[in-house]
Amino acid sequence: MRRAICKYVSLTWILIILVCGGQGHRVTVEKVTDSYGLSEGPHWDHRIQKLYFVDIYNQYIRRLDPATGVVTSAYVEHGPVGVAVPVDDTTDKFVAGSGKDIVLVTWNGDENEDNATFKVLTSIEPSSSDTRINDGKVDSSGRLWLGTMANEVNGQVAHKMGSLYCINDTFQSEKIVTPVSVSNGLAWNIEDNTFYYIDSFTYQVEAYDYNPNNGSISNKRIVFDLKKANLEGLPDGMAIDTDGNLWIAVYGGSQVIHVNPKTQQLLRKVKIPAANVTSVAFGGPLLDILYVTTSSHGLTAQERKESPHAGALFAIKGLGVRGILANSFAMNGVKDSSEEKNID
């Protein structure tokens, strides 16, 4: 196992550089946004070269323009926003998981929106279940895969209350995996024949054979186990590179890990100056920058002072790998708001 020995060289409060040995690359970690709440679900929109992410309990969809550093935000009044992805062929529509519902949010992304227009499309779990939508991602056919988890009660999350669903272009949902505790990272390899999935409380990363034609998964196996690797923390969001290796955010572990799912080898670790690392996504013109979201959720004012970077986004450069383009949601009949009447 090759291990990057990293040490911090803190330049300013904004810029944090880590110098890592072991890979022949100079890896840098830069803070690229202010601190928010539970930042998650990063999605690189290659059409506009900007990064969307959600701030779950604050109920925002946010957008970072890396060229200017400007973050714009849209508040979604409906409930916690677990995931939001752009709708194909539109510049101002997002399909989002808010509370237990799938909502269509209209937002141009350029200006802050303190009460974004939204429409509830469908509810994926019964109103009686005390759950909410968490992380999600779109597959190569434009279907949105997203999962649920129990609502937090006094900081505790009940186990095995959630499921993983697949939502198609007419908003019909199919239950794919159940029960799950905290549905999180999802990734498909570039060959589109393997699906990787994380239910955080298992401390494991699962792999399945994936059939891109009908979206079915089969032959579950475990490809990495954080406990067995003696790593502290929970696996959270995840991305995959073109070599087929996984990049996994470690919640409570202050790091992102790089794993070869075929050999179960831990390839690298990249330290992040926030304990609760929530997710990762490749972005940038060459898809070679790994954007990292973190959380400040649940911290007291004093703890926020001690963890000033918690809730911020970071950009890791110099990894020497590239990601795969993110898909946007294929929605039946949707057009830009100039043709709003076609939405139904």
Ligand X SMILES: *[C@@H]1O[C@H](CO)[C@@H](O)[C@H](O)[C@H]1NC(C)=O
Q: Does 276 bind ligand X (CB under 6 A)?
A: yes
Closest approach of ligand X to the CB of residue 319, in Å? 24
Residues in 240-269 that interact with ligand X by CB under 6 A: 252
Could you give the count of Cα atoms lying within 13 Å of 263 in the half-sphere of its Cβ?
Answer: 10
Give one word for 128, left, alpha or beta, with left for phi > 0 and alpha for psi -120 to 50. Answer: alpha
> Which 3 state secondary structure label does DSSP give 17?
strand
Q: For the purposes of burial, counting CB atoms within 10 Å of the CB of 269, is it exposed (0-12), middle (13-18) or buried (19 or more)?
A: buried
Judged by CB under 6 A, how many residues of this single chain contact ligand X? 20
User: Smallest Cα–Cα separation from 32: which of 272, 252, 270, 255?
Assistant: 272
Closest approach of ligand X to the CB of residue 287, in Å? 29
The residue within the footprint of ligand X, chosen from 104, 275, 289, 290 (CB under 6 A), is 275
Choose, from 101, 236, 241, 288, the residue flagged as catalytic: 236
Closest approach of ligand X to the CB of residue 210, in Å? 10
User: Smallest Cα–Cα separation from 35: which of 318, 273, 284?
Assistant: 273
7 in Cβ contact with 19 (< 8 Å): yes
The tokens describing 140, both together, are 């190569």
Question: Token match 């898909």: residue?
Answer: 327
Nearer to ligand X, 50 or 143 (CB): 143
Closest approach of ligand X to the CB of residue 303, in Å? 6
- Stated as kind and residue range, the H or E segment containing 118 is strand 117-123
**CA dihedral over 34, 35, 38, 41, signed as positive or negative:** positive
Nearer to ligand X, 94 or 282 (CB): 94
- Stated as kind and residue range, the H or E segment containing 146 is strand 144-150
The residue within the footprint of ligand X, chosen from 12, 68, 214, 230 (CB under 6 A), is 214
Q: Does 174 bind ligand X (CB under 6 A)?
A: yes
Nearer to ligand X, 50 or 137 (CB): 137
The tokens describing 193, both together, are 């024949």
Nearer to ligand X, 141 or 242 (CB): 141
Segment contacting ligand X (CB under 6 A): 30-38, 184-192, 285-293, 303-311?
303-311
Q: Does 193 bind ligand X (CB under 6 A)?
A: no
Q: Does 209 bind ligand X (CB under 6 A)?
A: no
The residue within the footprint of ligand X, chosen from 77, 89, 243, 340 (CB under 6 A), is 77
Closest approach of ligand X to the CB of residue 177, in Å? 13
Q: Does 130 bind ligand X (CB under 6 A)?
A: no
Could you give the count of Cα atoms lying within 13 Å of 260 in the half-sphere of its Cβ?
Answer: 9
Give one word for 267, left, alpha or beta, with left for phi > 0 and alpha for psi -120 to 50. Answer: alpha
Q: Does 339 bind ligand X (CB under 6 A)?
A: no
Question: Token match 């237990």: residue?
Answer: 100
Q: Does 122 bind ligand X (CB under 6 A)?
A: no
Q: Does 131 bind ligand X (CB under 6 A)?
A: no
Q: Does 154 bind ligand X (CB under 6 A)?
A: no
Could you give the count of Cα atoms lying within 13 Å of 273 in the half-sphere of its Cβ?
Answer: 25
State yes or no: is 236 an active-site residue: yes
Interface with ligand X by CB under 6 A: which residues?
A: 77, 115, 117, 168-170, 172, 174, 211, 214, 216, 252, 275-276, 296, 298-299, 303, 307, 310
The catalytic residues are 236
